[in-house]
Structure 1
Amino acid sequence: MSLRFTHETLPQRVVFGPAAEHLAAEVARLGSRPLVIGRAAADLLPGVPRYRDVVMHVPVDVAERARAFTADSDADVLVSIGGGSATGLAKAIALTTGLPIVAVPTTYAGSEATDVWGLTEDGRKTTGADRRVLPRTIVYDAGLTLSLPVRLSVASGLNAVAHCVDSMWAPRADPINQALALAGIRALSGGLPRIVSRPSDPEGREQTLYGAHLAAVAFASAGSGLHHKICHVLGGMFDLPHAQTHAVVLPYVMELNGVAVSALLAEAFGPDGLHGLRERIGAPRALRDFGFRESDIPAAVAAILAVVPPGNPVAVTAGDLTDLLRRAWAGEPTGDPR
């Protein structure tokens, strides 16, 4: 069968290694007046101004305050150190200023490898893509993830798995990002159980970081699929925690899309499938554990139905979404979505 597709690779420098050895030089390649965004790793870049008011889902008012602080500091390069919220805030600043970003992730969120930004206002999360927000350089240091508790590591890692899965059926999915996604699943399926069994072992965390990067690169190319549309609505409307929401919702979306992707994903997840991985690492199970109420389901369904992406493997109805969210709210078992 002949191949017919168009693929675009985002330009980005990626450094795997200790941030203490690499970060200062990477920042100096892009500017001389850095501003650190985030609360993590205060010993990196000592003496550099730091903006600490980082909030999940990047509320618009938080972004506006950060932009004003950046202007007052006369920064010419942003350094985000932390999870997806820190990276997201740096992106919000770059969106209006054009300042380059050096990203130093301390979780497995993956935002550092995408040109996607997100802002929340009045219970609605708006996302977009813009090359100005793509970090110019990423410094991956597994040592900086050692302080991330196991439960948060699991949720964050499953968020990365969701990037892989969405990349199999998203609007711009192609063979290249599907190959990256499958490699990402293999790395994450190997790394996450090692974090759970040996939390202080940096090798498991390094493998998970590598998988999270592959996942994010695939996602940046393929675009946002059904899973992320659902989770963006839930996060924006109900202020649910980002990684945990993704971790809970993923198996229900996979079950809904069912046989359309099962053959492609079975080998990557291995004989135990996603269900077995979730069991081994103690995945979050129910949206109600994170503040989502059963009475919220109708409003969520209406908002999600309006943004269901084209090209999803199966048609999606309001009834499908109602059933999916009710089961995810309760934490009901799914079939093995391999």
Structure 2
Amino acid sequence: MNVVFFFSQTDQAFVTLATNDSYAKGALVLGQSLRNHNTTRKLVVLLGPHVSDILCCREALSSIFDEVFMVNLMDSGDGAHLALMKRPDLGVTFTKLHCWTLTQYSKCVFMDADTMVLSNVDELFEREELSAAPDPGWPDCFNSGVFVFRPSNETYKQLVIFCAENGSFDGGDQGILNSFFDTWATTDISKHLPFIYNLSSIAIYSYLPAFKKYGHNAKVVHFLGKVKPWNYSYDAQRGEVRGHSIPPDQCQMHPDFLLKWWQLYARSVLPVLQKAYGNASFNSGFVDPSNHVGVVLESVRYFFKHLKSHVIFIQSFKYVFQLWIAFILQEKEQKWLF
């Protein structure tokens, strides 16, 4: 019998950030995915003050992460640049810069809480600062959802000064980090991570043939964009992901990865949340399959909300039609009561 030993590397860590309840769920899924794929590194999460129940949230995170650090929120407040991307929520991603203060670790890999690991990625620690994958929107910039860095109080200080003096060209952390590490695109190719370490769910549909050819090699999926997995709901009885209130034209998420996220959440994260929160209420994200009226009302609300253009009308009608068909098929053997 072959025995495999896993030796823990205690001076290196995967790091993520949870600024609110939703991103805390994402962090839990990310952390559990790293555990499931037998990482030998420590897991660290930075927790912002905007979670509804600090104690319960911290307890849940502590069950998966080795260390939970409370950090102050850093917001760019740069509404003009954030408006260009239609993402005002990204201002608080400046809080990510706190990761450089984790000087008890010699090297770290930062991963956004909307990422999920699909296989072991410990080999990332063989890379040097600042290693990252190209951003699908502008490949001469790196995407700051996954990057290798070396904690340093001096680097942190320089980043904060740089922020104050120069701001961010996109209003978020990615603009700052690309401007600060401005030689990434042209100097050391070894700092360019393959796209499989930061597979953008949006990029899948922009070059579908490449995804069909290479997608099976993906090691990290990144749910980029406005719509996150937790914006959906999950029917545990059917094992199906249900819709959300975001217009279809704004959502480009591969259904296989979305289902994987929810399956991991249902199997490993929800029990952790239930234990931590006890009798306290929290949004589990699960739907009540017996609540047929709620499903129908959801479709009607969605239909009328998005009658703003011909395109949205057709998309809304398609969405409503699909919900009604599902409802009718489920009820076909039951008696209608009015």
Query: What TM-score do you get using the length of structure 2 for normalisation?
Result: 0.30
The structure carrying a bigger strand percent of its residues is 2
Q: Which has the larger radius of gyration?
A: 2
Higher helix share: 1
